[in-house]
Amino acid sequence: MAEINNISSILPPVVPVRESYPQAVGQQSAVGEVKDNVEISEAGRALARAEDVSSYRRARIESVRQEIEAGTYETPERVQGTIDRLLALLR
């Protein structure tokens, strides 16, 4: 196998973002500073919502786990509610 002495000879040239993507420059304000714009895609928003749901679910699971360990999860009211829902499905 050949030895590589100069890695830059096998890599593509590095081009600054402003040269390769002029639209990424943003909008220029009156004083000359560049302001960037960010647009979050629908996929990005869906991932953020999924993370919120996931955090809620983890907290809910931990809460139920603690109730089960403490022996307070299965109450007569919950058992009766489960029975009522099952019977409603059979009707």
3-class DSSP state for residue 35? strand
The domain spans of the chain are: 39-91
| pLDDT for position 91 | 87
| pLDDT for position 7 | 57
CA distance 54 to 5: 48
pTM of the model: 0.39
Token match 């809620």: residue?
56
pLDDT in tens, 45-69: 888 888 888 888 889 999 999 999 9
Q: How far out from the chain centre does Cα 5 lie?
A: 42
DSSP code of residue 10: T
For the chain, which residues score pLDDT lower than 70?
1-32
Q: What residues have CB less than 8 Å from 18, skipping those under 6 apart? A: 24, 25
| pLDDT for position 31 | 62
